[in-house]
Amino acid sequence: MPQDITKEEVNLGQVIYQWSVKEYEQYERDGRWYWMMGIPGAAPLVYAILAANYLFALVVVLFAIILFMHGIAEPVQVDFAITNTGLVLGRKYYKYNELSDFWIIYTPPEVKNLYFSVRTLTKHRLQISLLDNDPRPIRDYLKQYLVEDLEQEEEPLSDKIGRLFKLH
């Protein structure tokens, strides 16, 4: 379970690599994007109203409101650090024994990400943008503490779909 470093006195260790990333990728969405997402999104709403399933209609409307508000909010800059005892992501600290493995997907310019599998049921992976950092020394350092998952050769399907439809 990751520790909240603002509430507890945590020994983070020596910082080896550090950079700042956005909480999520912000995409430019024009009016055309809203029309292209709104038309298929309206179909479940119409169905819910015709079927007199007003609870489902409410869920669809709430989902649309959340997606719209998420789209207009600016992502927060989050500090990320790799230390000799674990990872710091924002206010969360993950010890190396809380992580099962890592992998790097590096196909510039669109994908430059570092992934970690977390051993908890609620959060299955962390995704960190490498930005302009060289992945080779980071990979070599992490291999001291974690197993590299060499079977992961492409970014996860959920990330591809999110980037394709500009959902993140």
Asked if 140 and 105 touch (Cβ cutoff 8 Å), the reply is no
Ranges under pLDDT 50 in the chain = none
Domain 3-22+78-164 has CATH 2.60.40: no
Tell me which residue of 76, 77, 97 sits closest to 86, measured CA to CA. 97
| Spatial distance between the Cα atoms of 66 and 162, rounded to a whole number of angstroms | 16
Domain ranges (residues) in the chain: 3-22+78-164, 31-72
Compute the chain's Rg from CA coordinates: 19
At 141, phi and psi to the nearest 5?
-70, -45
Which residues, 6+ apart, have CB-to-CB distance to 14 below 8 Å?
83, 84
Query: What tens digit of pLDDT does each residue of 101-137 get?
Result: 999 999 888 889 999 999 877 767 899 999 999 999 9
Q: What is the pTM of this model?
A: 0.81
| Spatial distance between the Cα atoms of 166 and 104, rounded to a whole number of angstroms | 22
